[in-house]
Amino acid sequence: MPYGPTPETTSTAPASAATPRIVAPSRRPHHRVPVRSPGRPARGARALRHAAPALLAYAAVRVFGAVVFALWARGERRDVWHLLAESWDCDWYLKIADEGYANTLGTQVDANNLAFFPLQSLLIRAGSLLVPEPRGAVGLAIAVVCSFLAAWGIFAVGDHLYGRRAGVLLAALWGSLPVALVQWMGYTESLFTALTAWALYAVLTGRWLWAGSLAALAGLTRPTGVALAAAVSLTALLALWRTCRAGGGTDRVRTLVGALVAPLGWLSYVGWVGFRLGRWDGYFAVQKLWHNEWDGGVGTLRTVRDLLSVQRPQLFLMMVTATLLASAVLFVLSVGDRQPLPLLVFTGLLLLIVLGSEGVYFPRARFLLPGFPLLLPLAAALARARTHVAVTVMLTAAVTSAAFGGHMLLAWSGPP
């Protein structure tokens, strides 16, 4: 059920010509904003200055959403800290950090925590040695810091493909999604998105060792890390095959290593769970215990049908449904825009996993938060639009996100 330092440290431009790279193929539509010409990679303070508008835009929409939520919660006399740092899945990760994993499969969902991948809890446990109190502080800090690293990586991808304006809008759109408040909760979405964004950027710029390493870490963060691993490995192997056919290239070893390393995180945790439970399908047995099996989308369609047939469906579930439908449409647009292969593989597999599961329905919008490439068609369109149109759309998105964020934690009776 459940699920930084940047690659090349702070680079947001193609690799230096002094170090040959095997760059993933990317066909850009002729109507796109032209990408700046290749040159020396931006590093350090220069890279941060280049990304500053995106980080400021992201901070603006998230601070606005957090303030609205805090005032709303105060009006209802709810504990803001508990909701953001200790509730629902936050508590699962905190308990794993304190007590470790279950030794047996058991028969009750609430007695088995092996469905939660380990990286978040490992970071919490390490950080708690420095900041033991208050409870949940480390998990919340990880989420907030990683949200900015994610926004930076998302900007880097958008900037690389469609220009700086599109990159800024892409980061701001990601921070304005209906369930974006989760990005500043003690959940794994921010950590996973940061790893995903920089892994995909590393693929686009031919940094195969970074791409494979970050994908492996993502595979230790969420089950959907397998989608990122597949995107990195497939693109790397295709690049290696093309290089071998052409008889050139000096980075064959790095490319191959990146392809092989990418799935190791996901495979190692799934294998460890099987070993711990004494059965080869241990992890999948855990997922079955959580009623989270893949059925090809039959359960999702059934739930959507049932929701649409209810006279007054719950607002949060209708928002989840709208998000799923919009994501499917955006994926079709992404294919039509001929996005680079690694982005399409990642978002396609992410949608396949999320929409194809018969598990719980309400967290599906949250599960899709890392699928930021789906927002590229919107960001590119807004980048070409007049400024007042882009500003109006972004303000509307920010207000809507703040409203749904408050509703998600204060009016909806379940977890996000």
Q: What is the pLDDT of residue 347?
A: 98
Q: Where are the beta strands (DSSP E) in 157-308?
A: none
Q: What is the pLDDT of residue 31?
A: 38
Mean pLDDT of 299-327: 94
**Residue 134, phi then psi, degrees to nearest 5:** -75, 160
Q: Is the dihedral of CA 116, 120, 124, 126 positive or negative?
A: positive
Report the 10 Å Cβ neighbour count for 215: 35
Q: What is the pLDDT of residue 244?
A: 86
97: pLDDT strictly greater than 50: yes
Tens digit of each residue's pLDDT (9 = 90 or more) over 134-180: 999 999 999 999 999 999 999 999 999 999 999 999 999 999 999 99
Q: What is the pLDDT of residue 250?
A: 63
23: pLDDT strictly greater than 60: no
Tens digit of each residue's pLDDT (9 = 90 or more) over 322-366: 999 999 999 999 999 999 999 999 999 999 999 999 889 999 999
Whole-number mean pLDDT of the chain?
Answer: 90
**Does 254 or 40 have the greater pLDDT score?**
254
11: pLDDT strictly greater than 80: no
Name the residue type at position 292.
N
Residue-wise over 224-244: b if at least 16 C-beta within 10 A, else e?
bbbbbbbbbbbbbebbbeebe
Q: Spell out the SS3 assignment of 381-410.
A: HHHHCCHHHHHHHHHHHHHHHHHHHHHHHH
Report the 10 Å Cβ neighbour count for 392: 12
Are 204 and 192 in contact by the 8 Å Cβ rule? The answer is: no
pTM higher than 0.75: yes
Q: Where are the domains of the chain?
A: 46-410
Tens digit of each residue's pLDDT (9 = 90 or more) over 27-70: 444 333 333 433 344 567 888 999 999 999 999 999 999 999 99
Structure tokens at 68: 């609205």
Mean pLDDT of 306-314: 88
Q: What is the pLDDT of residue 42?
A: 52
Structure tokens at 97: 């950090």
Q: What is the pLDDT of residue 25?
A: 40
Residue 284's nearest CA partner among 112, 120, 111, 119 is 112
Tens digit of each residue's pLDDT (9 = 90 or more) over 229-243: 999 999 999 999 998
Q: What is the pLDDT of residue 45?
A: 81
Name the residue type at position 387.
T
Residue-wise over 249-267: b if at least 16 C-beta within 10 A, else e?
bebeebbebbbebbbbbbe
DSSP state of 372: G
Structure tokens at 293: 């099996």
Residue 116's nearest CA partner among 186, 49, 40, 21 is 186
Give the whole-angstrom CA distance, residue 213 versus residue 258. Answer: 7
310: pLDDT strictly greater than 70: yes
Structure tokens at 176: 């304005």
Those residues whose C-beta lies under 8 Å from the C-beta of residue 24, and which sit 6 or more positions away, are 203, 204, 206, 235, 239, 340, 341, 342
Question: Is residue 6 classed exposed, middle or buried when 0-12, 13-18 and 19+ CB atoms within 10 A define those classes?
Answer: buried
381: pLDDT strictly greater than 70: yes
Q: What is the pLDDT of residue 251?
A: 84
CA diameter of the chain: 68
Structure tokens at 280: 């080869």
Beta bridge partners of 6: 9
Mean pLDDT of 100-129: 92
Structure tokens at 350: 């992410």
DSSP state of 84: I
Q: What is the pLDDT of residue 269?
A: 98
Mean pLDDT of 196-220: 98
| % of the chain beyond a pLDDT of 70 | 89
